[in-house]
Structure 1
Amino acid sequence: MVKIAVPTSIQGRPQEYEEAHVHNVYDRIADHFSSTRYKPWPIVAQFLSDIPTGWIGLDSGTGNGKYLPIPTERPGSIFTIGLDRSHNLLELAKCAGGSPTRDVLRGDVLGDYWRLGAFDYALSIATVHHLASPKRRKQAIERLIQSVSSTHGRILIYVWATKQDELSRTSFPKKACWSNEDETRISPAGQDVFVPWVTQTSTDGSVTVEPETSKSMYMVLNRYYHMFSEGELSRMAEEAAKELDLKIGSPDEFSERGVKGLHISEEGWERSNYYLLLTRWEK
């Protein structure tokens, strides 16, 4: 089914907007959503496979926890803790990969739950784009930077892109400012949209993915997204690093001692998403 995105603007406090159009929606559709989110994205899987044995990490916005068991080729070699706001998705994440012992925490990605540098690595996959203001999106990146080791921490961030590929199941009005046919009209600040989640609900209110029956009806729930424009994510990461008094660039670019920094190790686009691989360093 093709989903048609609709431009939107934030009304009221961003936190309340997220509560109504992100958190409440995902709690309602958790089972249905999880059934469509089971295959790891290749670059994310490779990121986790490259993590050294014994490292401890954070999956911020873990959802159904599909990345918690990775790397599957050496199970148990690294330890990833899942964080999410959705109680119902976390119930699924606890058993990700068939294990009843996954460590997950219910909380906000902007929360301050751990000491600085507590983790060796962190990932945020398809989460930052659900935050309803530039300030909150930047704060989420700051939290990721703060959460990992200042000497070797690695971070992977994925966000939805204004640049959609031919396999995208979401349709965007051609006259909209983010049309792929006219990249010059895309705002450097990206675009806020509603993307519908269409499911069925029975007369008792429970969500189902079963074929339509006389006792079911369609339900459409709009999820809020901020679609990132090209370069927007890397600019935001650099701004976040500067606010944390970190140098931007490779450690080889700085000769002085006692310097802490953040290096954008890789930046790219994959399947309608922009991603960043960040590395922290200290001299």
Structure 2
Amino acid sequence: MYFNEEKNKAIGMRFEGGKLAKKVHKSVEQLKRHDPDVQVSSEPTRFLLVSNSSILCGVSLEELEAIFLPLDKSAEFIVYPNKRSYSFVQCSSVETAVEVRNELHGLIPLALKSSHQPFIISYVKNLPDAKKCETYRPADLGIFEDYISTDFEKELADMLASHPSVKSLKHRAVVHFGHVFDYSTNSASEWKEAEPIPPIIETLIDRLICDKYITERPDQITANVYERGHGIPSHYDTHSAFEDPIVSLSLLSDVVMEFKDGANSARIAPVLLKARSLCLIRGESRYRWKHGIVNRKYDVDPRTNRVVPRQTRVSLTLRKIRRKPCECQWKEFCDWDREGEMSVPSNENLALKLENSYVSDVYENIASHFDETRHSSWKAVKEFINSIPRGSVMYDVGCGNGKYLIPKDGLLKIGCDMCQGLCEIASRKDCSVARCDALFLPFRDESADAAISIAVLHHIATFERRKRMISEMLRVVKRGSKICLTVWSMDQSQSEYSKMRENKDDIVQENNIVDTVNRLKVHDGKDFEQQDVLVPWTIDKKSETFLRYYHVFREGEAEILIGSVENCELVSVEKEQGNYIIIAKKM
């Protein structure tokens, strides 16, 4: 269907002819790859495939509604939060679908940015099978639908919504029973009592115990009243505050709760909590995963990807106050002290124990996957290697998969690594490699002309041990020779030191840098919040995550460290893509 110029200006820019035909072909090919069970139709149907219309493409559901609902007020949507560049629209009739397609096919609607790709619309015979939509739940999470009757639901909801102790928070109203919940610490105190637990909730607790979902009676009850569009920020229920499990009962309306992996917040598991369903947040889903509800007026059912409008919802959360130390197996995410087990090491023995668990053991587990991902070389490191005279001997301390050892530059290169798996991988590439500790190198004094150590020093857990590693590298090179080391920078921004100057939590001393944070933290995101962190390594194919220890370097820290080593002169410290490249010389 062709439009005159004035109408095009009114509704947006339209693509036509051969260019549009190519985009239709591309759209259909994408559908075949992602949803092969959905069949394209050459005849009009009620079902429309709309390419370039997903959240992945920057198009929100609200924008889709603003574009399609004026043309068909009964239109329904299937949208994808990620991984798809298209959505599906179910029209009220075949005739309406034809009108909608004629109006929008090949068009960049005015509601979208002018730089956006045009909507490419095709008829399809069917919509995706709900059973085949991608779903995932965190381990140990329990969902039990229709746990209570509609009568019991109404009785509970009426009692909670009209309770005289209801207090308003920013995005919801709350009332506490048994003990007051402290939102500043995500915990509850035994001595800060709230309203007595009502008999109707005691009846629910009796059933939970009878059904063996819990073994002890909860003593902290929180009821939340959410108006449409309201949610709750992503959070942990504090390990040290409450026993396992956390029990949640949903009333009046369905909602999607998002669980975020504590080791990778980009890994999100949306879980539908239907009205009258019981949710047991226990085990891994409680201790490792955060959970929350996004502030919005609709949800996307993770089982069907259909849009579901929200209504007023009431939730009832039942917790048991913890009175003894948490002993969960997810100690990296636990706030309990664990007698210093997860603290930043303060002595040699603790440092060695940490490095064995979160460096050596981890690399043995990820060696093959590490090799698959490590091929490119740092520009500054290549320049350093190229500056070494041909025929020289070079040691690579912590050589990994041997990418810097491959014989192609006229140097005699010998590598070493603590990881047996990586040594075997490097050896298979015809590299000369030995298995050893970087702090106790198996090489003679002054036996090499240069040495490198790439991304190793930041795995060493104390200042004295890092100093000893540099001393050991200097021992095995000749006087006047240079060594090159790389470490991660705490500042990963494009502006080299902007974040460094803003951080006032550390004290630079003459021979050391003291970090006031004393507990190891699992790093998530782009910005480091502290120097000593556990950084996730995820193998997607196996859905496995391992945590590696890092001490990321602040501005000026490399200079202080090199300055503390005897017979060592700093040549340069450069920044390259979030890494410090350190070059030093043996005096």
Q: What range describes the TM-score normalised by the shorter chain of this pair? A: 0.7 to 0.9
- Structure 1: distance between partners of 2:500 and 2:392: 44
Per the alignment, residue 477 of structure 2 pairs with 148
- Structure 2: distance between partners of 1:163 and 1:120: 32
Deviation at 1:36, TM superposition (A): 1.1
1:54 is aligned to 2:391: yes
Per the alignment, residue 90 of structure 1 pairs with 423
Deviations along 1:159-188, one digit per CA (max 9) or x if unpaired, are 111110359xxxxxxxxxx99386332534
Alpha carbons of structure 1 residues 181 and 278: separation in structure 2 relative to 1, 3 Å:
closer
Alpha carbons of structure 1 residues 181 and 227: separation in structure 2 relative to 1, 3 Å:
closer
Deviations along 1:109-136, one digit per CA (max 9) or x if unpaired, are 0014222211110011100100111111
- Structure 2: distance between partners of 1:183 and 1:140: 30
- Structure 2: distance between partners of 1:113 and 1:77: 23
1:162 is aligned to 2:490: yes
Q: Select which of 346, 355, 360 maps to 1:18.
A: 355
**1:1-283 paired onto structure 2 within 5 Å:** 3=264, 9-10=343-344, 13-69=350-406, 75=408, 77-96=410-429, 100=430, 102-150=431-479, 152-165=480-493, 180=499, 183-185=502-504, 187=506, 188=508, 189=513, 191-200=531-540, 209=541, 218-241=543-566, 246=567, 262-281=568-587
Letter in 2 for 1:226: H
Q: TM-score, normalised by structure 1?
A: 0.73
Gap regions ≥5 residues in structure 2: 1-262, 266-331, 334-341, 516-530
Gap regions ≥5 residues in structure 1: 168-177, 201-208, 210-216, 247-261
Which protein is bigger by CA-based radius of gyration? 2
Deviation at 1:231, TM superposition (A): 1.2
Higher relative contact order (CA 8 A, sep 6+): 1
Per the alignment, residue 203 of structure 1 pairs with none
Deviations along 1:11-49, one digit per CA (max 9) or x if unpaired, are 562111111000110110111111111101111111111
- Structure 1: distance between partners of 2:539 and 2:498: 27
Q: TM-score, normalised by structure 2?
A: 0.36
Per the alignment, residue 256 of structure 1 pairs with none
| Number of corresponding residues | 227
Deviations along 1:178-218, one digit per CA (max 9) or x if unpaired, are 99386332534361001011114xxxxxxxx4xxxxxxx52
RMSD: 2.6
Letter in 2 for 1:230: E
Deviation at 1:62, TM superposition (A): 0.5
Deviation at 1:274, TM superposition (A): 1.1
Q: Are the counterparts in 1 of residues 396 and 416 from structure 2 also a CA contact under 8 Å?
A: yes
Percent identity of the aligned residues?
32
Deviations along 1:75-133, one digit per CA (max 9) or x if unpaired, are 2511111110001111111134xxx3x11000000014222211110011100100111
Q: Are the counterparts in 2 of residues 179 and 185 from structure 1 also a CA contact under 8 Å?
A: no
- Structure 2: distance between partners of 1:121 and 1:9: 36
Q: Are the counterparts in 2 of residues 264 and 278 from structure 1 also a CA contact under 8 Å?
A: yes
